[in-house]
Copies of this chain bind each other. A is one copy, B any other.
């Protein structure tokens, strides 16, 4: 037989030696909460080095600051000024979206970036407020407190919500529960962001059309009803102004997209629009002809707001709920953005550490009159394109915003609201990623369903409803996968010892008298009874087929366990039941390649003794070989008995 011979000599499937309980608990806890092994670099280091590494771990600024050079600084200043020119108009716009005073948007671009520069590990992330979270704050808090009737309480609740968002974010990071953010799948985020962007755009129709009264609902139906019922109130002045600036902004974006070297055209466009529009209004006195303006914006740096956090308010639960939901959304966006840009430049980001940085930044923000901030995609992309090198660009941006707060706020008095609406719409149009949705449809229909349900949920229901629908559908998918695992028939690939799915490989051949089944998932309570029935059905079908084709009877059922990563006690009962039914049918159950986890549990529950360890094989090939040997031996035996009987008759 030559070389091939050794392949056929069966190997024993080892039962792993018992591990003490605390050891296996420790290793599985480590795998669950510290998959990235953050303490690896601490190993085998002297104490002093460990302290330095620890401090650097907590504050990444200590790591890169000593190596900071003037060349890096030059690059960061350019990037910082560029993003500041975006931060000021966006800050004011998004604050309006959250129904907060415009100056809060500016405050939020001052303190949080400074905190992030100390604690964050991304070199590209630009900190600021985001549209979707702003809208969520408006819709969730607005249900309880009217921002026009009770502006002070509303601001207090927004700050309190920001505080809880920060606590929640930092808590997730400390407890190493970062994987909760992973429950928002890519498909969910595409659909959710698209829906939220649509909703935000719809809200801007108020500004564009110069309407004074507007629905509090965010869904398509109420917004369209509100707009169409007020046709006689539409103001052409603000419509024309808004339309022009929107066209200008979309055009510059298109231009910058085609020619990446001119990224600054796009980055500067919002500020240019604001300046142009303010000048226009100032000279034409358009504010007296239906064009609403921002009005007075307070001068001066962030006042402290610790006393504004209302922990004793009857609306505390609303604030907590808002904080937790907006906190998760903000985290998901910020971490995804940080990770994407880190991958471009090939450095690593520790998700849990980032969560702590975001959390601290929001806690600090909530005490200094800032509302929820994260790392928005648009601003970070501009930062990246502008050639930022480190988080110093955030410090530069903060400084520029500080100067604005100290000296330039009166200039915004005549800024028309409609131009802010245009800025928001232009930013939002980039978030409706229909190409990604088409890609999802092509590659994975189920992901497309998740995406489109999130979108429809947000557009026709509310932001929260869309999110809940999408997360629930995603989870159902995971559960459905576990509840309905794939099983398939294996056949022999000709001229090899390899066994593969007969469906996938047309060349694979059945082995006469032996049914080989592959189980493609862990065996858990959620799928144990399904698998039991499915295995029975495979055997039924095979026996029917053999009966009609008059081939050799079925004698052995080999279960290929390569895909069974884990098993619980329900899974073991399922095996016991399967063995019983197979026994009753006069067949023999054979296992191939059970993993160590499975082998350990099968042994502990005495199933290995029941089936016989000699019937557990390392590979399918070895199992088939042993079965064939037995089949052959039986046939020989039968022949011998027959011929003996014949002899006796003679």
Contact = CB atoms under 8 A, between A and B. Distances in A.
B520 A570 contact: no
Interface in A565-591: 565-566, 568-570, 572-573, 577, 580-581, 584
Interface in A334-374: 339, 343, 346, 348, 351
Contacts of A501: 595-596
Contacts of A497: 7, 497
A262 interface: no
25 contacts: A2-B4, A6-B496, A7-B496, A16-B503, A31-B484, A35-B533, A35-B534, A37-B537, A179-B526, A182-B525, A182-B530, A184-B525, A185-B525, A186-B569, A187-B570, A346-B581, A444-B568, A474-B526, A475-B479, A478-B478, A478-B524, A498-B618, A500-B593, A501-B596, A563-B565
A183 interface: yes
Interface in A485-530: 485-486, 493, 495-498, 500-501, 503-506, 520-522, 524-530
A36 interface: yes
B443 A185 contact: no
Nearest to A525: B185
A152 interface: no
Contact of A563 (B339, B484, B495, B562): B562
Q: State the majority secondary structure of interface residues on A.
A: helix
A6 B495 contact: yes
Contact of A521 (B31, B446, B522): B522
B565 A182 contact: no
A280 interface: no
Contacts of A49: none
Interface stretch (A123-131, A412-420, A597-605, A635-643): A597-605
A179 B447 contact: no
Given A443-B601, A474-B526, A486-B565, 20 more contacts: A2-B3, A3-B4, A11-B498, A32-B484, A37-B537, A179-B526, A182-B483, A182-B528, A185-B525, A186-B525, A187-B569, A446-B568, A447-B568, A474-B525, A481-B482, A500-B618, A504-B599, A520-B563, A521-B522, A562-B563
Nearest to A4: B3
Interface residues of A, number: 100
Interface in A524-571: 524-530, 533-534, 536-537, 540, 562-563, 565-566, 568-570
A472 interface: no
Given A182-B525, A565-B520, A618-B493, A530 B35 contact: yes
A3 B6 CA distance: 11
Nearest to A562: B562
Nearest to A483: B179
A474 B35 CA distance: 22
Interchain residue pairs A-B with the least CB separation, the first 6: A185-B525, A2-B2, A3-B4, A520-B565, A504-B596, A6-B495
Contacts of A7: 4, 7, 496-498
Most buried by B among A31, A527, A565, A569: A569
A479 to B, nearest CB: 7
Contacts of A442: 604-605
A8 to B, nearest CB: 10
Integer count of this chain's copies in the complex = 2
A619 interface: yes
Given A4-B2, A569-B186, A595 B443 contact: no
A167 to B, nearest CB: 23
Nearest to A493: B11
Interface of A: 1-7, 11, 14, 16, 21, 25, 31-32, 35-37, 40, 179, 182-188, 339, 343, 346, 348, 351, 439-440, 442-447, 474-475, 477-486, 493, 495-498, 500-501, 503-506, 520-522, 524-530, 533-534, 536-537, 540, 562-563, 565-566, 568-570, 572-573, 577, 580-581, 584, 593, 595-597, 599, 601, 604-605, 618-619
Contacts of A563: 520, 562-563, 565
A496 B8 CA distance: 9
Nearest to A619: B498
A597 B504 CA distance: 9
Nearest to A505: B14
B529 A182 contact: yes
Contacts of A439: 569, 605
B482 A478 contact: yes
Contacts of A478: 478-479, 482, 524, 526
A456 to B, nearest CB: 19
A36 B486 contact: no
Contacts of A481: 482, 522, 524, 565-566
Contacts of A475: 479
Contacts of A484: 31-32, 35, 179
A322 B351 CA distance: 43
A245 to B, nearest CB: 36
B604 A182 contact: no
